[in-house]
Amino acid sequence: MRYIILGDVLILFGVLFGIFGGGSALANFIVESDVQISLPVTAGMVGLLFFSGLLIQLAALKKSMFFPFVALVLSLIQLGLYCYESIKGGFNWWLSPVLKLMNFSESIGKAGNYIGIMILIALILLPAIIFPLMMKRE
Q: 48 and 74 in contact (C-beta within 8 Å)?
A: yes
> pLDDT tens across 100-133, in order?
666 555 666 677 778 888 888 888 888 888 888 7
pLDDT of residue 137: 47
pLDDT of residue 104: 58
Strand boundaries in 31-93, DSSP class E = none
pLDDT averaged per 10 residues, the chain (length 138): 84 78 61 59 82 88 84 89 80 67 65 80 86 68
pLDDT of residue 83: 85
Q: 126 and 79 in contact (C-beta within 8 Å)?
A: yes
Domain parsing of the chain, residue ranges: 1-133
Short-list 22, 81, 83, CA closest to 47: 81
